[in-house]
Structure 1
Amino acid sequence: MDIVERINSLIKEKNLTKREFAKRLRDLEPKLKTTGETPTEKTIYKYLDGNSSIKVELLPYIAEALQVTEQELFTYDKKSRKKYLQNIMRNISQDELKIIKNRIELIEPETPLEKESSDRYKDSSELKEIIELLPYAPKPLLENLKIKLKEIKEFNRSI
C-alpha cells in the first residue's frame, strides 16, 4: 500500500469525506516550500487521486488532519506498530508515559469509586472553566476536540 492509498484508507476509517479532509488540512495552513502558499482544495484532490505527488512538507499536516502519527501514514501492520512502540519506549519522556497511562486508564473498567468521582466532575468548576474558555479556541482545535470526545464517548459505550 502506498502513501496515497494509506491516506485515503485513513480518510475512510475516520468517516471523513475528501472535502472534509481537505478543509481540515487547509485549516492547518500548511505552506508549500515551492510557492509559500497553502495548497488549494483542487490540489489536495489531485494528491488524493494520485494525479500529483504529495509534497513531503505536507506529511506532518496530513497526519495532524487525520489525527494519526506520521508513522501511521506509511504503515500500520502489527509488526511495524510493535517496532514503532519499542522505539518510543527506549527513551520515553515523562509526558509520553503519562499519555500512555491515561490511555490505559480509559481502557480499564471504572470502579464504583471512580464512577462516582467522574459523576462529580460533570458539575465541577473546572469543567465550567473549560466551557467558558472554548470560545477562545481556534476552530481546528474545536473540531479535533469534538471528534476526539465523540470517539471517547463511543469507546466508553462499547465497554
Structure 2
Amino acid sequence: MSSRQAPRDLPPDVLAQRYGRRPRRTGRRWYRSPVRLGAAIVGAVLVIAYGVWVSVAQSSGAAYQEISHTIVDDRTAEIRFSVTREPGTAVRCQVHALDDGSSEVGLLQVDVPASNERDVQESVQVRTTSRAVTVGVESCSTVE
C-alpha cells in the first residue's frame, strides 16, 4: 500500500500559477479612516452602556424562591415561598396553579407588606376551578 505525496521539487509559485494570486488591497484599512473608527468606538460604547443598564435594571427588584407546594384537594393548592427585597419595600406576587394539561386553574395576587426584613416567607392557599398538579410563583414586583 503506497501513499501519494507531492514532490518536493515544485516551484514556490505552483499554487499561484494553478489558482491565481489574491488581489492586493490598495485602499486604506477600515480602522485607519477616522470616520469609521469613530463610528466603531461609539457603537461599542453604546453596546456596553446598554448591557450595564440591562444588568442594573434587572438586579433592582424583588426576587422569589419557591420552597414547597402541596395539592390539598380538588379545589385548593398551597405554596410556600420566600421573597427577597430591599427592607421597607412592599411587593406583589402572582401565584398560579396549573392542571395536568398546563392550563391555569387558579390565580392569586399576594401582597407582601413592607417590613424591616430583607427576606420574608409567605404561605398561601390558592383556590382552583379543578384539581391542580402544581402551583408556583409567576412573578414578583415592587409596589410603589
TM-score between both structures, scaled by the size of structure 2: 0.17
Greater RCO structure (CA 8 Å; 6+ sep): 2
More strand by share: 2
Which structure has the bigger radius of gyration? 2
TM-score between both structures, scaled by the size of structure 1: 0.16
